[in-house]
Amino acid sequence: MAGELDGKVAVITGAASGIGRATAMLFASEGAKLIVADKADGVRETADMVKDAGAHAAPVQMDAGDEGDVKSLIQTAIDTYGALDIAYANAGIIGSLSGIFDDDPENWEQVLRVNLIGPWLMIKHAGKYLADQGRGGSIICTASVAGLRSGAGGVAYSASKAGVINLVQVAAQQLSTANVRVNAICPGLVETGMTGFLYEAVRKKGKEDRIGQLNPLRRGGEPSEIAEAALFLASGRSSYVNGHALVVDGGLSSSHPVSRQPFGQMAI
């Protein structure tokens, strides 16, 4: 049976673990040939996992916020497989959790460089190739529910992810004549390499059951659940979805904060 991505070539950044690795495995299972990229050594393990599953993947160690590295990444996909169809700018860092008055410019510069300039560079270089080749394509960027409103991340992180949401909207307009779709995914709380320290801190306190307690589903998300959203946006099933920020958070952002009441009673 044909996969959703048969014959497609995809690049995925932030692929050494978490959402990026889960997406790589899912894309590969659906027939895509992959270039998996990350600054961390784990990207080689991701590529090996894909190949062990009988699919195609080549690893690239690179800095997602460096223009030369991103340009080289796109060229590697073209040189390796002769094409590019899907670009997933997933790499990101959490940065400092300090408040506005305790944060520093160095943290902001680094967070914005990776989280916002990185996706822009992917759109710039992958988008140019996708437009020029005339086949169209899909570009996906990982944003966050922290980019929607306060309460889900540090100041610089939240601002960077809000920027990603606006970036995909602008890019979708500017690539509108090239049949290149540009969308974002806004994950809620998901256990990844970036958020692992938060999960571990809660577990050490014996309060693991409280993870995701403000979420209607009362749990955190899994990387595989975000990967499913990425597959939707990468595939033809989302052919009329463009310039959109797809929220995948179990319902966390569907409400303003309220005190929990027994079922059937309304908080006033």
Cβ atoms of 15 and 38 closer than 8 Å = yes
CA atoms within 13 A on the CB side of 146: 20
CA distances from 30 to 7, 52, 65, 150, 168 (A): 10, 15, 28, 36, 25
Cβ atoms of 41 and 61 closer than 8 Å = yes
Residue whose tokens read 């300090």: 98
Q: Is 7 helix (H, G, I), strand (E, B) or coil?
A: coil
Identify the burial level of 110 via C-beta atoms within 10 angstroms of its C-beta, where 0-12 means exposed, 13-18 middle and 19 or more buried.
Answer: middle
Asked if 199 is an active-site residue, the reply is no
Q: Exactly one of 81, 88, 129, 157 is catalytic; name it.
A: 157
Looking at the annotation, which residues are catalytic? 157
